[in-house]
Structure 1
Amino acid sequence: MSITEPVATHAQGVDEAPESADYLARRTLRSGTAGWVLLAGLGVSYVISGDYAGWNSGLGEGGWGGLVIAGAVIAAMYFAMVLGMAEMSSALPAAGGGYTFARRALGPWGGYATGTAILIEYAIAPAAIATFIGAYVESLNLFGIVDGWWIYLVVYAVFIGIHLTGAGEALKAMFVITAIALVGLLIFAVAAAGRFDAGNLLDIPATDAVGASSFLPYGYLGIWAAVPFAIWFFLAVEGVPLAAEEARDPARNVPRGIIVSMSILIVTGAMVLLLAPGAAGSAAMAGSGNPLVEALGDTGVAKVVNYIGLAGLVASFFSIMYAYSRQTFALSRAGYLPKSLSVTNSRKSPTLALIVPGVIGFALSLTGQGATLLNMAVFGAAVSYVLMMVSHIVLRRREPDMPRPYRTPGGIATTSFALVVACLAVIATFLVDPLAAGLTLAAFAAFLVYFGVYSRHRLVANSPDEEFAALADAERDVT
Structure 2
Amino acid sequence: MNESTTLGRPASGSGGVSYQDVSAGYFEQRTLQRHAGFFTLLVLGVGAVIAGQYSGWNLGLAQGFGSMLAATVIIAFMYLLLCSSIGEMSAALPHTGGAYSFARTTLGPWGGFSTGLAENIEFILAPAGNMFFMGTYLSAIFGTAPEWQPLWWLVGYACMLLLSVRGLGVSMRVVVVITLAAIGVLVFFFATAIPHVDFAAKALNLAAGDAGTPVEVAGGNGPWLPFGLTGIMLALPFGVYMFLAIEQLPLTAEESHDPSRHVPRALVFGILILTVLALGVLFFSASIGGGAFAMSSSGEPLLDGFREIFGHTASKVLSAVAVLGLAASFLAGSFAAGRNIYSLSRAGYLPTALSVTHPVNKTPNVALLTGSLLALSILLVFWFSFGRENNALMGGIMVSMIVFAGMISYILQSIAFIRLRRLHPDLPRPYRSPYGVFGALVVIGISAITLIYQFLDPLYKWAALGAAAWYLIGMAYFAFYRRHRLVLSPEEAFAVSGGREGHPR
TM-score range, shorter chain: over 0.9
* CA RMSD after TM alignment: 1.9
Alignment match, 1:385? 410
Distance of 1:359 and 1:76 partners within structure 2: 35
Q: Which residue of 1 aligns with 2:365?
A: 351
Query: Is the Cα contact below 8 Å between 1:103 and 1:110 reproduced in 2?
Result: yes
User: 3-state DSSP class of the match of 1:400?
Assistant: coil
Distance in 2, Cα, partners of 1:10 & 1:428? 40
Q: State the distance in 1 between where 2:43 and 2:255 align.
A: 15
Q: Which runs of 5+ in 2 are unaligned?
A: 216-221, 388-393
Q: Which amino acid aligns with 2:103?
A: A
In structure 2, the residue matched to 1:422 is 447
SS at match of 1:472: coil
Q: Matches of 2:318 and 2:287 in 1, distance apart?
A: 17
Contact 1:207–1:218 (8 Å) recurs in 2: no
* 1:44 pairs with one of 46, 50, 56: 46
Stretch of structure 1 that moved more, 160-169 or 296-305 = 296-305
Partner Cα distance (1:363, 1:50) in 2: 21
2:376 corresponds, among 362, 376, 394, to 362
TM-score, length-scaled by structure 1: 0.94
What's the offset of the Cα at 1:103? 0.5
Whether the 8 Å CA contact 1:46–1:237 is kept in 2: the answer is yes
| Alignment partner of 1:170 is 2:161 | no
2:475 to 448, 451, 464: 448
Secondary structure, counterpart of 1:157 in structure 2 = helix
**Is the 2:137–2:303 Cα contact (8 Å) retained in structure 1?**
no
Specify the code of the residue in structure 2 equivalent to 1:330: S
Could you tell me whether the CA contact under 8 Å between 1:96 and 1:331 is conserved in 2? yes
Report how many residues are paired. Answer: 470
1:14 is paired with a residue whose SS is coil
Contact 1:207 1:217 in 2 (8 A): no
SS of 1:114's partner is helix
Q: With structure 2 as the length reference, what TM-score do the two structures score? A: 0.90
Corresponding residue SS for 1:194:
helix
The alignment status of 1:333 with 2:340, answered yes or no, reads no
User: What is the 5 A alignment of 1:5-44?
Assistant: 5-11=7-13, 12-31=15-34, 33-44=35-46
Displacement of 1:295 after TM fit? 2.2
Give the corresponding residue for 2:218: none
The 10-residue stretch of structure 1 (11-20 or 189-198) with the greater mean CA deviation from structure 2 = 11-20
Q: Hey, what does 1:121 align to over in structure 2?
A: 122
Alignment of 1:80-479 (within 5 A): 80-141=81-142, 147-199=148-200, 200-207=202-209, 214-280=223-289, 281-296=291-306, 297=308, 298=311, 302-346=315-359, 347-366=361-380, 367=383, 368=387, 369-432=394-457, 433-461=460-488, 463-472=489-498
Contact (CA 8 Å) 1:43, 1:261: kept in 2 or not? yes
**Which whole-Å CA distance do the structure 2 matches of 1:185 and 1:161 have between them?**
28
Retained in 2: the 8 A contact 1:16–1:460?
yes
Distance 1:197 1:165, change over 3 A: same
Following superposition, the deviation at residue 411 of structure 1 comes to: 1.0
Determine the C-alpha separation between the residues in 1 that align with 2:436 and 2:261: 18
Deviation string 1:286-320 (CA, Å, 9 cap, x unpaired) is: 01111122123125663343112211111100110
Look up the equivalent residue of 2:406 and give its one-letter code. Answer: A
Query: Could you tell me the percent identity over the aligned residues?
Result: 38
Preserved CA contact (<8 Å) 2:7 2:485: no
Distance 1:92 1:65 in 2: 40
| SS of equivalent to 2:19 | strand
Task: Provide the secondary structure at the position in 2 that maps to 1:205.
Answer: strand
The one-letter code sitting in structure 2 at the alignment partner of 1:283 is: F
Once the 2 structures are TM-superposed, how far is the Cα of residue 219 of structure 1 from its aligned partner? Answer: 2.1
Distance in 2, Cα, partners of 1:202 & 1:270: 16
Q: What is the SS of the residue equivalent to 2:425? A: coil
Amino acid corresponding to residue 249 of structure 1 in structure 2: D
Q: Once the 2 structures are TM-superposed, how far is the Cα of residue 164 of structure 1 from its aligned partner?
A: 2.5
State the secondary structure of the residue aligned to 2:453.
helix
